[in-house]
């Protein structure tokens, strides 16, 4: 029992410099979303995404903060298109513990255009060290190095956007 408690105390969320897990992602993707990610299937590993950087939102359909933040994350995704015309930064949403139905419900209700992936068996959540939602990551795709990680409410979208641009050499 004490050993389990000790493990829980030292199991922390990822920090900058850590390696983002090369986990399998599964989701119902449109042809346009597959092209955006540079993949051909609905299921693939993170390392198969074509691009230089990955912006990850770990969320849950049942998270009220995630629901509140959805519009701002959508705005970031749209704004990134104007500063990143070559689409070197890819956006994805990882739905912690959510089924395909829940992912689709969230996508429609909050009008999310970037690719979303289910996690009904919690394997993604476990790979991310059971991070709280929402959480945001900036990952360098060629090495899967985490350049930035933030857990909790998106308090300042503009500051996060500036962090994203600074970490990905975009202006």
Mark residue 122 as left, alpha or beta (left: phi above 0; alpha: psi -120 to 50; beta: remaining).
left
Q: Give the global pTM.
A: 0.90
Q: Where are the alpha helices (DSSP H) in the chain?
A: 2-10, 31-37, 64-83, 100-109, 123-127, 157-167
∠ CA 84-90-95, nearest 5°, is: 145
Could you read off the pLDDT of 111-150 as tens digits, one per residue?
999 999 999 999 999 999 999 999 999 999 999 999 999 9
Cα separation, 109 vs 4, in Å, equals: 39
**Residue 92 near residue 25 (C-beta atoms within 8 A):** yes
Report the interhelical angle of 157-167 vs 64-83 (nearest 10°).
50
Could you read off the pLDDT of 34-76 as tens digits, one per residue?
999 999 999 999 999 999 999 999 999 999 999 999 999 999 9
Q: Calculate the CA 171 to chain-centre distance.
A: 22
Phi, then psi, of 44 in degrees rounded to 5: -165, 170
**Residue 25 near residue 46 (C-beta atoms within 8 A):** yes
Alpha-carbon Rg for the chain, nearest whole angstrom, is 15
**Which domains are assigned to the chain?**
50-59+67-165 (3.40.30.10)
Could you read off the pLDDT of 147-159 as tens digits, one per residue?
999 999 999 999 9
């Amino acid at each position: 029992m004490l050993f389990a408690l000790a493990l829980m105390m030292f199991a922390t969320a990822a920090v900058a410099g850590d390696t983002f897990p090369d986990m399998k992602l599964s989701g119902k993707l449109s042809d346009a979303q597959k092209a955006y990610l540079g993949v051909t299937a609905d299921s693939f590993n993170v390392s198969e995404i074509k691009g230089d950087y990955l912006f990850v939102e770990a969320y849950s359909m049942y998270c009220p903060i995630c629901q509140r933040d959805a519009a701002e994350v959508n705005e970031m995704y749209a704004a990134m298109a104007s500063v990143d015309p070559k689409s070197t930064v890819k956006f994805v949403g990882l739905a912690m513990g959510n089924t395909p139905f829940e992912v689709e419900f969230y996508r429609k209700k909050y009008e999310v255009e970037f690719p979303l992936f289910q996690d009904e068996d919690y394997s993604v959540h476990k790979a991310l060290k059971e991070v709280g939602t929402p959480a945001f990551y900036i990952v360098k795709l060629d090495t899967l190095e985490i350049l930035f990680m933030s857990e909790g409410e998106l308090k300042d979208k503009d500051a996060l956007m500036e962090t994203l641009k600074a970490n990905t050499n975009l202006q």
